[in-house]
Structure 1
């Protein structure tokens, strides 16, 4: 069976290796105050921890209307256990069956390309931001809540520079392995942190690893979010585990550009700005892609106005989003069996904190 590659394995394993329950009071409220100069109004779960839901958020989702897809099981290495051979895809599970729904944004119009970056903001991001600004390129960044409260100045810069900001959960968990309440907590805490910094609530969200099914989609929909996947994966996450080198990733991206003249659809590419190597590759990739495609934003790929990527601006939306079919994302069997060494995990945790 062919699997679609689940993104950001290296960062996710690092995140999961340090995750746990947030320090809380007896009523479940988090007690963490971000350690920076931003005037935070709220206390938050600790960065990289698995957050608990606020009681009032549970009322935002009608569980009776959520598909009763079974909660996925994870193996000892933290990866999802694949379904038994011959199993049918009853709930449009993307991780195992490449299944998409029309409301999932996954491709772009022919001739257009949107670059997206996951897992930031990080101390390495500034170099990428500088390059994008100098070359007048806009991108979409799917940010982790635990990173937002550590680097609010970087998130504010993203918004001020005109980039689109989406949610990548609080602690980078496999969403189909979580309960409805856990999914709500991952998304709403991240949304709250983002809104504190930029005054706006994103509508785009990207499930970690691309892991979602119809249960996750319905929770996401009821919370007012739109799932965004990708159809071209740079595999830059493999560099940290030593599986591939930077030259291999760069050649992959050159291949995307080389196929532009015959491609029947455009692209949404997946890269990361959580490590120095990822940022360096991203900067080298941008002129290659710009020479072959019209560089655009995820909003255009989804037929949504740029302003309407935030909930507060939804009245400016003109056309409902429409997704596309995954193309060229590769196999994810390696993901299901990959286990990083402790040394790699330690390195990656260092990069993230």
Structure 2
């Protein structure tokens, strides 16, 4: 029972460190080994558990799978609710499903924190995806153990640990076909890229990537606080004041711009977009608007108007 004890201890430590001993928690349960093992560990840790099972409706029989996960949670001594959602199309299937899932969990959590079954392997994949996309230190610092209301007690444990713990507890997790579908970038990173890196570099890559996230997390949090202070100083309604923004260090300026773009409707501004908007601040030569998003009919743009960065929409050709 070594793995099941390790998972239970991880939940106990997380509750003590981040929840001040409050053991009323939700667990996001898919029915897979990570979330099922986390649900069991939370119950064994003495938590009052409400398992929230999101049914994305993306596969035939998904309602039955969701109800089966809820039944498994109740068998462990947890309460359980199934949350049917409608998945849109913004940002692709992965992003749209994630948005629908987190919105449903946030609505249903009843003021409790939500524990997520992400492991060290998930953290490594997140960091590697951030590296490949040039996403900067915020992405390289990975997923946080605790950012209210989301908690991840299993970030020091491996996916193999959750599978072993399920076996020790006699649980039968389900396999989500999407977790093996090569259409999804994260699946290919998991099944192709990371195994190749482990082979070429002689092992330990996943742990090293997760350790990188830990090392960068505190730095990123500190810079984030400073960027929030800068944002408050340069915000003028919906606009940004150029002069004080131009004088700020680039590490803070780029964060302010990224957060402002996201808040204004640019869902995931790329480094190219952020650099182009930053050029309106520090490399002003009278250049035109920067397209940052929109829909089929309207283009969302950022333009410089005197000493302000402002939003503008225009019709697509």
TM-score computed with the length of structure 1 as normaliser? 0.28
Structure with greater proportional helix content: 2
| Bigger-Rg structure (1/2) | 2
Structure with the larger RCO, 1 or 2 (CA within 8 Å, 6+ apart): 1
